[in-house]
């Protein structure tokens, strides 16, 4: 067991607004989180506890300390490692309607040039049910590992759609769950990552890749911003057809039903949704 004051862990699946959640919490001086995702209990466990604890700032006596790493939900070994090292930690899991989440995740990797334009290869459940985009949205299956190891009162389930509708109220639920009594700062009022934002064309990004170590140091300067704005263009994505979306929703239907039992409310907000 880690001898630490780590109070909470936030995780979920990519494109569920967990980064927005972290950025909003970080606005409050009584919350302390490392900025990068550590992925310790999923991918970096071999680094050991000393490395993990060195990533945190424990110098603020009144601050609650935690971290956000999305991979804790989907990497099978993470739940048992967390239970062994942080048995009393508070867990916050943020989820999004799984078909919309899968498409948004696909668009993110398409924008990076990491997946093909043939969307069926990546989002058709008959072809790719065990791959990242679809598997990461099987929330009920992944959550079983945590409910097998932790009491339900240690786990808070949040929905992306609730965050969009009432961000302050959902942040207040999180604060109560982790025992944070001080007032929270106002949340971030815009998307942290917007897939509709203009991007530098992929061909140019590939040309500039060897120069990234230099460019990253000056990327926020005015001349570089002016140059970027001059070449950036809106990204066009392969569309999610109604037929493919229905196949995804049919695939996820048993998972959604199981999750409704966990949450204790019908997930009507997820049924018949369109868009990413």
Per-residue pLDDT tens for 100-137? 999 999 999 998 889 999 999 999 999 999 999 999 99
Say if residue 275's pLDDT is above 50.
Answer: no
Length of the chain: 276
What contacts 189, CB < 8 A, 6 or more positions away? Answer: none
The lowest-confidence range among 22-31, 168-177, 223-232 is: 223-232
Measuring CA to CA, which residue among 75, 71, 36 is closest to residue 55? 36
Q: According to the model, what pLDDT value does residue 167 have?
A: 93
For residue 234, what is the DSSP state?
P
| HSE-up (13 A, CA, CB side) for residue 228 | 16
Q: Rounded to an integer, what distance in angstroms lies between the CA atom of residue 143 and that of residue 157?
A: 10
Q: Cα dist. 233→61, 198, 202 in Å?
A: 46, 5, 10
Q: Rounded to an integer, what distance in angstroms lies between the CA atom of residue 203 and that of residue 209?
A: 10
Q: Rounded to an integer, what distance in angstroms lies between the CA atom of residue 143 and that of residue 79?
A: 9
pLDDT grade for 223, boundaries at 50, 70 and 90: low
More reliable by pLDDT, 247 or 4: 247
Q: Strands (DSSP E) along the chain, which ranges?
A: 6-12, 31-32, 64-68, 90-95, 155-159
Contact 65, 101 (CB under 8 A): no
pTM of the model: 0.84
| Chain centroid offset of residue 92 CA | 11
**Tokens 């057809």 — which residue?**
241
Cβ atoms < 10 Å from Cβ of 24 = 24
């Amino acid at each position: 067991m880690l001898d630490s004051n780590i109070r909470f862990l936030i995780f979920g699946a990519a494109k569920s607004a967990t980064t927005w959640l972290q950025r909003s919490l970080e606005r409050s001086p009584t919350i302390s989180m490392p900025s990068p995702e550590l992925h310790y209990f999923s991918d970096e466990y071999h680094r050991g506890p000393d490395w993990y604890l060195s990533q945190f700032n424990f110098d603020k006596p009144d601050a609650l300390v935690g971290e956000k790493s999305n991979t804790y939900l989907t990497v099978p070994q993470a739940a048992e490692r967390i239970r062994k090292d942080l048995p009393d930690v508070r867990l916050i899991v943020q989820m999004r309607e799984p078909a919309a989440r899968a498409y948004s995740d696909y668009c993110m990797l398409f924008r990076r040039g990491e997946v093909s334009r043939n969307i069926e290869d990546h989002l058709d459940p008959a072809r790719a049910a065990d791959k990242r985009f679809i598997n990461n949205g099987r929330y009920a299956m992944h959550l079983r590992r945590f409910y097998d190891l932790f009491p339900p009162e240690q786990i808070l389930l949040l929905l992306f759609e609730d965050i969009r509708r009432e961000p302050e109220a959902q942040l207040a639920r999180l604060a109560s769950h982790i025992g944070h009594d001080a007032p929270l700062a106002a949340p971030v009022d815009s998307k942290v990552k917007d897939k509709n934002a203009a991007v530098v064309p992929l061909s140019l990004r590939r040309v500039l890749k060897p120069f990234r170590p230099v460019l990253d140091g000056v990327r926020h300067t005015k001349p570089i911003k002016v140059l970027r704005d001059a070449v950036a263009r809106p990204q066009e994505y392969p569309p999610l057809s109604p037929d493919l979306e229905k196949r995804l929703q049919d695939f996820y239907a048993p998972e959604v039903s199981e999750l409704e039992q966990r949450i204790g409310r019908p997930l009507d907000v997820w049924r018949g949704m369109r868009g990413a």
